[in-house]
Chains A and B, each alone.
Chain A
Amino acid sequence: AQSVTQLGSHVSVSEGALVLLRCNYSSSVPPYLFWYVQYPNQGLQLLLKYTSAATLVKGINGFEAEFKKSETSFHLTKPSAHMSDAAEYFCAVSGANDMRFGAGTRLTVKP
């Protein structure tokens, strides 16, 4: 079965610093991978997705992620954090009939 593991339940960065949120996947077939963001009291919003085209995927709000098959990773990065990036971030892998999510990483941005 396909699954994802997010390393670090909580990441704290200063405004303007690099954001790095880690995700590793487990899949017996080439995976479709996603990053979603959840702001307080809201639903999940897609940041970006990997569907076996380019390994470096650019998303909304300046985020990007790189698919590395050798490391089974799909880490999310942003060069410079903004206060508005504070939220819960979920990595996900798409299976045959559903999508499975990681446990989430809460990003805190300090002024």
Chain B
Amino acid sequence: DTAVSQTPKYLVTQMGNDKSIKCEQNLGHDTMYWYKQDSKKFLKIMFSYNNKELIINETVPNRFSPKSPDKAHLNLHINSLELGDSAVYFCASSQDAGGGELFFGEGSRLTVL
């Protein structure tokens, strides 16, 4: 059983398109995150949700819109894709927002042409 699963694993798309990445966790955790990893492996937090409520929204373009239908799911929708959006996007979860271990998905590699 995969604890944190993301789909799709790979996306290749043209500039200007819209795409979504889905994430689900079966750990019963309250908090979920989206991180972006660039080509130099740098990991930057984008969003954090605790019990479906947004608690962190870093300086991310509003073309990125997270949605949490329930605490086990956190999806990421990206509008009007740009070349600079090419990266690996990681979903993660933690027991709560109080500073514990993060459990990561396998990542979704987005390539914008």
Residues of A within 8 A of B (CB): 32, 34, 36, 38, 41-46, 49, 88, 90, 94-101, 103-104, 106
Bound complex: CA A43 to CA B37 (Å): 11
Structural contact, B99 and A100, CB atoms closer than 8 A = no
A97 in contact with B50 (CB, 8 Å): yes
Which chain A residue lies CB-closest to B107? A43
Instruction: Kindly count the residue-residue contacts between A and B in the assembled complex, taking CB atoms under 8 Å apart.
Output: 58
Q: Which B residues are within 8 Å of any A CB, using their own CB? A: 4, 31, 33, 40-43, 45, 48, 50, 55-56, 90, 92, 94, 97-107
Q: Name the distance in Å between B33's Cβ and chain A's nearest Cβ.
A: 7
Is A44 in contact with B99, judged by CB distance below 8 angstroms?
Answer: no
CB neighbours (8 Å) of A36 from chain B are 104
- Inside 8 A of B45's CB, which chain A residues have their CB? 98-100
Given contacts A88-B41, A103-B41, contact A98 B48 (CB under 8 A): yes
B42: chain A residues at CB < 8 Å are 101, 103-104
The 9 A-B residue pairs with the shortest CB-CB distance, nearest first, are A94-B99, A43-B104, A101-B43, A44-B104, A104-B41, A97-B97, A32-B99, A43-B106, A98-B45
| Complex CA distance for A38 and B90, rounded to whole angstroms | 12
Cβ B41 vs Cβ A96 within 8 A: no
Inter-chain pairs besides A96-B98, A99-B99, 7 sampled, C-beta below 8 Å: A32-B100, A42-B106, A44-B92, A97-B97, A98-B56, A103-B42, A106-B41
Residue of A nearest to B109 (CB): A41
Measured between beta carbons, the chain A residues less than 8 angstroms from B97 are 96-98
Residues of A within 8 A of B4 (CB): 43
Chain A residue nearest to B40 in the complex (CB): A103
Choose one: B48, B103, B105; the contact of A97 (CB below 8 Å): B48
Hey, which chain B residues are within 8 Å of A90, CB to CB? 43
Chain B residue nearest to A42 (CB atoms) is B106
18 contacting pairs across A/B (C-beta < 8 A): A32-B99, A43-B90, A44-B92, A44-B102, A49-B101, A94-B100, A95-B99, A96-B97, A96-B98, A97-B55, A97-B97, A98-B45, A98-B56, A99-B33, A99-B99, A101-B43, A103-B41, A104-B42
